[in-house]
Amino acid sequence: MDYSEVAHGDPSTGIVALTFDAGNEGGGAAPQIMEILRERNLHVTFFLSGHWVDHNPDLTRQMLADGHELANHSYSHPDLTHLSDDQIVYELDYTDQVVWDAAGVHTRPYFRAPFGARNPRVLDVAAASGFRSIFWSLDSGDWLPRASAGAVAAKILRYAVPGDIVVEHVGSAASAEALPVILDELDQRGWRVGTVSEVLGLPRQASTD
């Protein structure tokens, strides 16, 4: 198993991987984002914090039912570089258990560090627990205080190329509002929207055993 960090997928797949992080906020724009994707029969990867799953178990189950890939975003959304090795393991393992309890799938092997804050120690500890860091090659900017749908769509559509891993957030109304515009344009370009596994050219990792 390769546990080296991923920041970019395989351009030859023709896929742009849209990923949505769910930290400690409420359900946010998740229902809206999921509805847009459902209408188009598209699947993405959601990086879920255990805290978010605990507060949104129905949305978590619906993500799975809709065919999305569920991955790990820690439990309490801390800066992992400030935690001890044992605390890092707890954040990832406990979240995996929370997702399993809620939806019946595991999150291994994909995790994304909150705030993108990681260092070699964090990556080594995570790898020892069976997790591979998924960073991103394109930041949508949807987390910025003044983010607008127009700005999010413009940034993604200006820079996205096949193989990209794009980071967005379920808490962002701007991302939800921008999504149809983004999907329409990517479709026009002949690019497919997919999951992290798909853009890496790997079989889906989430298992129900």
Q: Hey, which residues are catalytic here?
A: 21, 169
Distance of CA 142 to the CA centre of its chain: 14
Q: Give, for 90, the enclosing helix (H) or strand (E).
A: helix 85-103
Residue type, 62: Q
Q: Collapsing DSSP states into helix, strand and coil, what is residue 111?
A: strand
The residues, any chain, with a CB within 8 Å of residue 165's CB and separated by 6 or more, are 6, 7, 8, 9, 17, 19, 134, 135, 136, 137, 138, 196, 199
Residue 167 pairs in a beta bridge with 19, 139
Q: How far is CA 110 from CA 59, 147, 155, 181, 183, in A?
A: 20, 27, 25, 28, 24
